[in-house]
Amino acid sequence: MPVSDRMPTTGKGVAALLMAVLAWYASEMFRPLMPEGTNFGWFNEVNVALGLLSGWIVIGSRLGRGLSDGISAGLTGVAAMVFWAVFLQSSNEMLRLALERRYDGPVEGLVAVFEIAFDFVMKMAHVPLIALLVGGGIVIGIISEFVARRWS
């Protein structure tokens, strides 16, 4: 990775901000899919931070190579954000259950992370949420690519 890839650019900033907005709206769309009375805590804020990071790192590092690469960078950024969000939120849920003494050992807790993640992914299989994420990734990729070419 050249040193210039780590420099702040307008394209990276725009991608990060747009991914944060997408993460917030996707988190709000996911809330009704969970059981009533679920305590979400810092759910939206953690997902927004992941959106910022995936926009800056994943999308921002792939800008300036053309429209099709911008679109694929946007989709890759959304996929990375969803992966890390599911992993962190399922790990958090496992820790909550572990503090309630639901597991007999650490291996059972580690296995539970993947079981909880699978449950979250199955609940995310909601057409409007998937359409928001895919469409948002495409739009973010296009806008970020335009900004990267225009103001670089």
**pTM, entire model:** 0.91
pLDDT digits (tens, 9 = 90+) for 48-86: 999 999 999 999 999 989 999 999 999 999 999 999 999
- The structural domain count of the chain equals 1
What is the gyration radius of the CA atoms in the chain, in angstroms? Answer: 17
The Cα–Cα gap between 67 and 95 comes to: 42
Across all residues in the chain, what is the average pLDDT?
92
What is the span of the domain harbouring residue 46?
3-150
> pLDDT confidence of 38, banded at 50, 70, 90?
confident
> Would you state the torsion angle of the CA atoms of residues 88, 92, 93, 97, taken in this order, to the nearest 10 degrees?
150
Let me know if 64 is exposed, middle or buried by CB neighbors in 10 A (0-12, 13-18, 19+). middle
